[in-house]
Amino acid sequence: MRDFLKLPTTTGGLIRVVVETPRGAEAKLAYDPASRVFSYVRPLPVGMSYPYDWSFIPSTLGEDGDPLDGLVIHQAATAPGVVIKCQLLGALRVKQKDQDGEALRNDRFIFCPHKEDAENETADQVPEHLRREIEQFFLSSVLGTGKTIKFKGWQGAPNALKAIRKGMKAFTARTN
C-alpha cells in the first residue's frame, strides 16, 4: 500500500486531500503511517457523525506534528484512503489545548472537490451558515477527549494557501 503522507500536495493547481474519516461515520478514523492502514481512534459523542469527509493534506506538517487537517464539503460517499483533488475555500483558525495543557495552532482547512466537468465553476468561500455549523461540529467533536479548542476566526483561500505552503515547508524540512 502507498504511503499517503508522501503524496504530492498539489496537482494542476488543485490540492490533494486524503480521506481519513468519511462523512456519516460515527467514529474517528486515522491513517497510521507505520502500518499504512486506517485505524479506529474513538467514537464521536452519542448521536454525532461526521457531516463531511475529514481528511489530511499530504506532504504537510502542522504544529501538532501531524499533516494539516481538512474538511471536504460535498455529498458523495467516499471511504478511507480516497484521494480527492480539491479547491481550497478557506480555513477555520483554531487554537487547541491538549490534555497536558500544551497550546498550539491546529487550523481546519475547508475544501470542495474539483468538478472535472465544470471548468468555469469556482467556489471561493464558505457560506456564513455553513461556517457556524462547522464550528459547532468541531466544538462537539472534542467532547470527552481532554482537548479544548477556541476559534480565532476564518480566513479566505489566499491566506489559507499561505498556511498550507508553510506546512509543506515544515514537512520538507522534517524529511530532509
Q: What domains lie within the chain, and their CATH numbers? A: 4-175 (3.90.80.10)
Name the helix (H) or strand (E) containing 73: none
pLDDT of residue 82: 96
Q: How far apart are CA 8 and CA 136, in angstroms?
A: 31
According to the model, what pLDDT value does residue 79 have? 97
How far apart are the C-alpha atoms of 152 and 100, rounded to whole Å? 21
Mean pLDDT for all residues in the chain: 92
Q: What is the pLDDT of residues 85-105, one digit of tens each?
A: 999 999 999 999 988 888 999
pLDDT band at 27 (very low <50, low <70, confident <90, very high): very high
| pLDDT score of 120 | 45
Ranges 50-64, 75-89, 118-132, 138-152: which has the least confidence = 118-132
Residues 6+ apart with CB under 8 A from 151: 92, 93, 94, 95, 135
pLDDT at 165: 97
Bridge partner list, 85:
16
- In sequence order, the 6+-apart residues with CB closer than 8 A to the CB of 146 are 98, 99
pLDDT at 67: 97
Give the three-class secondary structure for 166.
helix
| Angle, alpha carbons 130-134-136 (nearest 5°) | 115
| Predicted confidence (pLDDT) at residue 121 exceeds the cutoff of 80 | no
pLDDT tens by residue, 44-63: 999 999 999 999 999 999 99
Q: Which residues of 10-25 are buried (b: 16+ CB within 10 A; e: fewer)?
A: beeebbbbbbbbbbeb
Q: How confident is the model at residue 14 (pLDDT cuts 50, 70, 90)?
A: very high
Residue 176 has what pLDDT? 79
Mean pLDDT across 94-119: 87
Checking if the pLDDT of 162 tops 50, the result is yes
Q: Per-residue pLDDT averaged across 59-79, rounded?
A: 95
Q: Is 135:151 a contact under the CB 8 Å cutoff?
A: yes
